[in-house]
Amino acid sequence: MKLSNFDITAFISGACIMVLEILGSRIVAPYIGTSLYVWTSLIGVIMFALAIGYYFGGRIADKHRNVDHLSAIFLISALFVIAIPLLSPFMMDFGMKLDPKLGSIVAALVLFFMPAALMGMVSPYIIRLTTERVEAVGSSSGKIFAISTAGSILGTFLAGFILIPLFGTKAIIYGIGVVLFLLAVSLKSGSKNSMKVQFAIFAVFFIISASLSYSGFLKYPENGDIIYATETPYYLLSVREFSDARVLFMDRYPQAAIKAVGNGNSSEANSSSSGALFYLHTEFISLIPFMSPNATDYLTVGAGACTEQTYLLKNTNYSVDSVELDPTTFEVCHAYFGYPDTKRTTHIISDGRAYLNDASGKKYDVIRTDVFTSGCQTPFHLSTLEYVKAVKNRLTPRGISWLTVPGTLDGEGSEFIKSQFAVYKSVFKNIYIFLESKDKNAKQSIGVFATDLDLNISSILDNPKVNKFAEYYYIPKESDFGKVLTDDYAPVEAMLDRMCT
C-alpha cells in the first residue's frame, strides 16, 4: 500500500495524541498522583475530546474542503500543546485544592482537552479531502483510521519505552508542538508570506511559553534546599536539605529521611556522627534482631532512601537485598544517604510482587514492605491477600514480615489500615503493631510485624536497647480489623481518598 502525504499526516497525528496522553500522567503525578483516578480522568477526557474532534472535524470539512483549514487546525493545536508547560503549574496548584477525582478531571480538561480535540479533527478532515466518490467513503475512512490508529500504537510505545526515559517531559511536549507546527507548514498552500506569519505566531508563542514556564513546570517541593533533582521514568526525584534532616522526595511527597548531615556532600552522610534514622517508624527496625535473633537474610520491597538498609549494614551482619523499580534510587542512596557499597547488598530491579511471586526463589528471614507514600497513593497489588501470601512463601520458618502503612486507627480514613491488619492476620498467626503517634486519630505511619512465631513481646520491650518503643506498642481490638482485600476487589484509592480528604 502506497502512503500519500495525507496518510503520513494522519499517522503522525495519531502518534502525537498518544504521546501527549502518556505525558499527561507525568505532568499530573507530581501534584495529584498516579492513582486510578488520574488515569481514569486522563483517558476519559482524551476520549471525550477525540469524540468532539471527530464530530466537528467532519462538519468543518464538509463546509470548508480545503487543505488550508487543516493546516490551521495543526497550527492551533501546536499552540495549545506548547502552552501546557505554561499553564500546568497554575492548574496543578488549583487541582490540588480539590477532591482528587474532581482535581484530576479539571486538570485534564484544561490542559489536554483542546489539543486532543483539535487532533481529533484531523482524521475526518483528511477523509473528506481524499474522498472523491461516495462509493469510496468506506474504504477511505477505514484506511485513514487504521493509519491513525497505527500511529497511536507507535506513539504509545515510543513514549513509554524511548522518549520519557531519554528526555524530560517538557522537551517532549515542545517536541510535539514543533512536529504539529511542521505539519501545519507542510500542508499550507498559500504564499510564502502566509507561511512566515504562521512561523512568527508559533515562534512568539513558543518563546513566551518556554521563558515563563522555565522555573515553574513540574515544580519540585518548595521547602528545603534542593541538593539534587532529576526526572526518572517513575518519579520526579529530589533530595532536599532542612535544618534537621535530609529528605528524599518522590514527586512532591517526602519518602525517607536521615538526620541533618551538613552541607550536602555524601562524605558527611557516611560519617558515624550523621545520617541517623529520622522518622520514628523507621527506628522500629531495631526491633528486628530481638524478634528474630538468628536472622541473616533481609529483603526490602521499595528501596526509598535505603536508610533502613544502611542501618542494618552498619549494625548487623545481615545480607540485605532490595527490590526497586527505579535504578536511579540506588544511585541517590549511595550519593546522598550514606548507603555503603558492599558485597552484602543485592539490588533487584523489578516490581516487588513480580519478584516475590517466584515461590522457588531465595528465602528470607525478614521481608520489609515499604511502598505506601505519604501522598495517599499505593500500588494496590501490594496490599492484597495474594501479595501477603507471596511474602509468606518467601519467608523462612522463623521469618517476619514488616509492613509500614499510613493511616489512622479511628475515624474517617481508618478503613485502609484496618484492611491491612486483616490481610496480614489472615495469613500469619500473629501480628504486632507499633504506632508512631499515641493519638489514634492522627495520620501516621504504623508498623505491622507479622509472623508465625509466638514472640514474648513484653520481654523484648523490657530490653534497654528497645524499651523506648514500649509506649508505642498497640494491641488491636476486634473492631480494628477490616475487610480483607484481594486482587479481585481492592478499592484502595477510595479508602485512601477518605483518609486524605
- Tell which wins on pLDDT, 372 or 455: 455
Per-residue cell: 452? 508465625
Closest CA to 400 of 368, 423, 362: 368
Look at residue 353 in the predicted model and tell me its pLDDT. 93
* Contact status, residue 366 vs residue 399, Cβ threshold 8 Å: yes
Residue 459 burial (C-beta neighbours within 10 Å; 0-12, 13-18, 19+): exposed
pLDDT for residue 369 is more than 70: yes
Look at residue 205 in the predicted model and tell me its pLDDT. 64
Q: What is the pLDDT of residues 433-444, one digit of tens each?
A: 999 988 878 888
Mean pLDDT of 206-221: 56
- How does DSSP assign 349-364, residue by residue? ES-HHHHHT-TTS--E
CA 432, 436, 442, 445: dihedral to nearest 10 degrees? -80
Q: Please count the other Cβ atoms lying within 10 Å of the Cβ belonging to residue 367.
A: 26
CA-to-CA separations, 34 to 112, 255, 359, 467, in angstroms, rounded: 16, 16, 30, 39
- Tell which wins on pLDDT, 185 or 31: 185
Which segment of 90-104, 116-130, 292-306, 481-495 scores lowest on mean pLDDT?
90-104
pLDDT for residue 320 is more than 80: yes
Residues 6+ apart with CB under 8 A from 180: 13, 16, 74, 75, 77, 78, 81, 119
Domains and CATH numbers, the chain: 5-213 (1.20.1250), 225-270 (no CATH), 280-500 (3.40.50.150)
Q: Which residue type is seen at 64?
A: H
Q: What is the pLDDT of residues 36-82, one digit of tens each?
A: 788 889 999 999 999 999 999 999 999 988 898 999 999 999 999 99
Look at residue 410 in the predicted model and tell me its pLDDT. 86
Mean pLDDT of 15-26: 92
Residue 493 burial (C-beta neighbours within 10 Å; 0-12, 13-18, 19+): buried
* Contact status, residue 181 vs residue 209, Cβ threshold 8 Å: no
pLDDT band for 357, please (50, 70, 90 cuts): very high
Mean pLDDT of the chain: 87
Residue 293 C-beta-side C-alpha neighbours within 13 Å: 4
pLDDT band for 170, please (50, 70, 90 cuts): confident
Look at residue 500 in the predicted model and tell me its pLDDT. 61
pLDDT for residue 387 is more than 70: yes
**Which of helix, strand or coil describes residue 417?**
helix
Place of cell 509468606: 392
Closest CA to 61 of 123, 17, 152: 123
Look at residue 496 in the predicted model and tell me its pLDDT. 78
Contacts 24+ apart (CB under 8 A), 182-186: 183/9, 183/12, 183/13, 183/71, 183/74, 184/71, 184/72, 184/73, 184/74, 184/75, 184/78, 185/71, 186/5, 186/9
Distance CA 247, CA 126 (A): 52
HEC readout, 460-475? HHHCCCCHHHHHHEEC
Distance CA 15, CA 383 (A): 35
Statement: the pTM of the whole predicted model exceeds 0.85: no
Q: What is the pLDDT of residues 226-253, one digit of tens each?
A: 899 888 888 888 999 999 999 999 877 8
Per DSSP bridges, beta strands 245-250 and 253-259 are: antiparallel
Which segment of 47-61, 158-172, 297-311 scores lowest on mean pLDDT?
158-172
Contacts 24+ apart (CB under 8 A), 261-270: 261/338, 264/225, 264/227, 264/336, 266/334, 266/335, 266/336, 266/338, 269/336, 269/337, 269/338, 270/338, 270/340
**Which of helix, strand or coil describes residue 248?**
strand
Mean pLDDT of 187-211: 65
Look at residue 292 in the predicted model and tell me its pLDDT. 93
pLDDT for residue 429 is more than 70: yes
* Contact status, residue 320 vs residue 342, Cβ threshold 8 Å: no
- Please report how the helices 36-63 and 100-120 are oriented relative to each other, as an axis angle in degrees rounded to 10: 30
Which segment of 29-33, 238-242, 251-255, 342-346 scores lowest on mean pLDDT?
29-33
174 phi and psi, to 5 degrees? -65, -35
158 phi and psi, to 5 degrees? -60, -45
Mean pLDDT of 114-135: 90
pLDDT for residue 126 is more than 90: yes
